[in-house]
Amino acid sequence: MSIRDAMESALLSREIVSVHTDKEDWSSCAVGLVDGLSDLHVCLKSISKDGCVGGFEVRRLEDIFKLDCDGSYERKLRNLVDATQISLPASIGESSDLLLDVLERAKEQGLVVTIWGGDLDDSLVGFVRELSDEAVRVSVVDEFGCADGYSWLSLEEIVALDAGTAPELKLARAWTKQASGASS
C-alpha cells in the first residue's frame, strides 16, 4: 500500500493522521483529518495539540516520507475532538487542484495563510487578495500582525500551505487589532 492509498483510506474512515515532510525532524508534522486528496496534494483539516479543529494544511504527496495512523497521539486527539462535539467546517472533498481550492476558500473567508516555497525556513504570510490558475497575490502580514506590502507568487513554487490554523488565527487577530487601531 502506498502513502497515497493510506491517505485515501484515512479520508474514507475520517481517521486522524500525522503527516511528516521533514526528514531532519521526525517530531515535526502536520496533524489532522484527511479532508481532500488529489494526484499531487493532500489537504488536512488541521487539529491542534489540544484537539481544536481549525483551518487547513496542504502538503505535496511527493514530500511525505512518513504517515502515522492510529497511534496513541492520533487516538488521544480523536478523543479530544470527539469530546468537544463541535461541527466540523465544510470539507474540501474531491478536487483536481487542492492548492487552488484551499487558496480560494482562504480568499473567500478572509483567512490568513502561510505559504512555503522551496526553502521551508522561509514563508510568506498574509491574506489572499487575488488568485489565478498561475499565481496568487498575498497582502503580507509581518510577525506582529502589521501590513507589510504584498507579494505575487507563482503557484508552481508552493510546496506547503496552511490556512486558518492556530498560528494564522493569532496573526489575524493581531492584524485586526492593528487595523482598527490605525483607523481610530
Per-residue pLDDT of the chain (184 residues; tens, 9 = 90+): 899 999 999 999 989 999 999 999 988 999 999 999 999 999 999 998 888 888 899 999 999 999 999 999 999 999 888 887 655 556 666 667 889 999 999 999 999 999 998 877 789 999 999 999 999 999 999 988 889 999 999 999 999 999 998 888 888 888 888 877 755 4
What letters, b where the CB count within 10 A reaches 16 and e where it falls short, cover 129-164? eebeeeebbbbebeeebeeeeeeeeebeebbbbbbb
- How far apart CA 62 and CA 81 sit, in angstroms, is 29
Q: Find out whether 58 and 98 touch, Cβ atoms under 8 Å.
A: yes
- Indicate if 97-184 has the same CATH topology as 1-95: yes
Half-sphere exposure of 52 (CA within 13 A, CB side): 9
Predicted TM-score (pTM) of the model is: 0.83
pLDDT at residue 33 in the model: 93
Specify the fold of 97-184: SH3 type barrels. (2.30.30)
Overall CATH class of domain 1-95? mainly beta
pLDDT at residue 4 in the model: 92
DSSP state of 60: E
pLDDT at residue 92 in the model: 67
pLDDT at residue 116 in the model: 93
The residues spanned by each domain of the chain are 1-95, 97-184
pLDDT at residue 93 in the model: 63
